[in-house]
Amino acid sequence: MRQKSIAVLLALALVLSLCAVTAFAGETAEDQQAAAGGSQSEETAAETEEEAPEEEAPSLAGPDAEPETDPETGEAIESALIEPDAVGTVSYANVERRMRENNLNVLALQESIDFIDSIDYDKMYEDLRKQLNQIANYQWMMIQGGAGDSYAYAQMEQGYNALREQFDAIKDGEMQEDNAGAKRQLKNLQDQIIMGGEMMYATIAGLETQEAALQRQLAALNRTVEELELRYQMGQVSALQLQQTKAGRTQLVSGLETLQMNIRSLKYQFEMLLGAEQTGGITLGTVPEVTDRELEAMDLEKDLLAYKDRSYDLYAAAKTLEDEKENYNDAGSKCGYDMEKTEFARAKHNWQAAQYTYNNTVQSYELKFRTLYEQVRDYKQILDAAKVSLECERASYQASELKYQQGSISKNALLDAESSLKEAEEKVLSASNDLFSSYNTYCWAVEHGVLN
């Protein structure tokens, strides 16, 4: 059974081997002409003088070099219309564009994709055909000279068989198919890196919301400490109570500093993903809001089919199943589908196990996708509930402002009401970020087949 190439390195190794054989064939051609006038075995000639395929090899054209248009639709890319970021800042809309232009891993993968796109299968097919004929001519000369059982002849035979396998792979479209699968895998890796960058953007935004909440709590605790110190001087609270409050403040400050350190560390990583200068201080824009229209456009069954069609993981699982089926058919042809023969029995059980494994993989990814769909819906209702609570806190704060103006509550009481209002606003922002993060993951699954 033919081996499936799933990495570009295999294609690279192929081309390097072709170059080596071409050089060798070039050296032997002149010797053949001088010694035997290019005589050739009729049997070998009939085997190797193949005509180039009439049909063109499947096109593996890469993405358009122009960033302003989509390589598949030809339409303008939305990100090309977005205003560039100011120095030291990044907007969510520009994350993907900047990563595709500057991320070293993405660029390295793109070089491998471009390499696959550059392969001219028709030219490679013709070169292989010529090389096979050259080797066959030289072998015939060796046979005529009585060297048909020599080590050099055996090496020639080995090289011939290797080239013939590649020749047949192109003729049957197997190499084109394998390289198309390798290209799909490379694009999937690019998408995963870029999706990771967008997820890191949302994560940093969420941590900055937590930082703002801790800053607010610290401000409220500072007021409490100040009030307790005054009451301690008046003998209204004990020294132990004051000390415990100050200890709580110290722990809060420590937690805040740890959070700020984590934010800086993530920003360093994020800046590296963007190809920006690593300062740990890049400023993020706001996280986009998910609209009701976008949520209404979600169609579970339709989107699930789109995801399964684009998923590289499911594509790879199907390829594995196909390989096991070929193993089963090969063993069956060899053993006459006789279960008494160990080789066929093993192949049959392996194929059956592969079917179970594939079906389990499909079910697993379907479950993940359905769970993600429900998660988006759940974050939506959490956001709606947070908005209701925010409206209540706004009304409460307005009432506190009126009471303060009337002199019925203290300044600290008003500040506490303001803190409660900010807390409600932070909950809305956090819920909005969670909704966007899950919805963005859903979109990556539907549009690119990436589901992490």
Residue 10's pLDDT band, with cuts at 50, 70 and 90, is: very low
Prediction pTM value: 0.77
Q: Structurally, how many domains does the chain consist of?
A: 1
CA separation for the pair 145, 163 (Å, rounded): 24
Quick: pLDDT tens for 23-53.
333 333 334 333 334 333 333 333 334 443 4
pLDDT of residue 144: 87
Backbone φ and ψ of 387, nearest 5°: -65, -40
pLDDT of residue 266: 97
The verdict on residue 314 lying in a domain is: yes
Average of pLDDT values for 119-137?
94
| Domain around 384 | 289-452
The verdict on residue 249 lying in a domain is: no
Please state, rounded to an integer, the average pLDDT across all residues of the chain: 84
pLDDT tops 50 at residue 447: yes
Instruction: Check residues 69 and 290 and name the one with the higher pLDDT.
Output: 290
pLDDT tops 70 at residue 66: no
The verdict on residue 172 lying in a domain is: no
pLDDT of residue 373: 97
Are 79 and 97 spatial neighbours (Cβ–Cβ below 8 Å)? yes
Backbone φ and ψ of 283, nearest 5°: -100, 125
The verdict on residue 387 lying in a domain is: yes
The verdict on residue 419 lying in a domain is: yes
The verdict on residue 92 lying in a domain is: no
CA separation for the pair 161, 35 (Å, rounded): 24
CATH classification at residue 380: 1.20.1600.10
CA separation for the pair 315, 354 (Å, rounded): 14
Are 209 and 103 spatial neighbours (Cβ–Cβ below 8 Å)? no
Instruction: Calculate the dihedral angle through the C-alpha atoms of 165, 169, 175, 178, rounding to the nearest 10 degrees.
Output: -90
User: For tokens 């199907």, what's the residue?
Assistant: 318
Per-residue CA distances from 333 to 343, 344, 403 (Å): 11, 9, 91
Average of pLDDT values for 270-278?
95
Are 71 and 168 spatial neighbours (Cβ–Cβ below 8 Å)? no
pLDDT of residue 145: 86
Which residues pair with residue 89 across a beta bridge?
283
Residue 428's pLDDT band, with cuts at 50, 70 and 90, is: very high
Backbone φ and ψ of 22, nearest 5°: -60, -45
Sort 209 into a burial class: Cβ within 10 Å, 0-12 / 13-18 / 19+: middle
Length of the chain equals 452
Which two tokens mark 347? 């192949």
Measured at the alpha carbon of residue 400, what is the angle toward residues 398 and 403, in degrees to the nearest 5?
Answer: 115
The verdict on residue 420 lying in a domain is: yes
The verdict on residue 127 lying in a domain is: no
DSSP state of 92: G
pLDDT of residue 81: 60
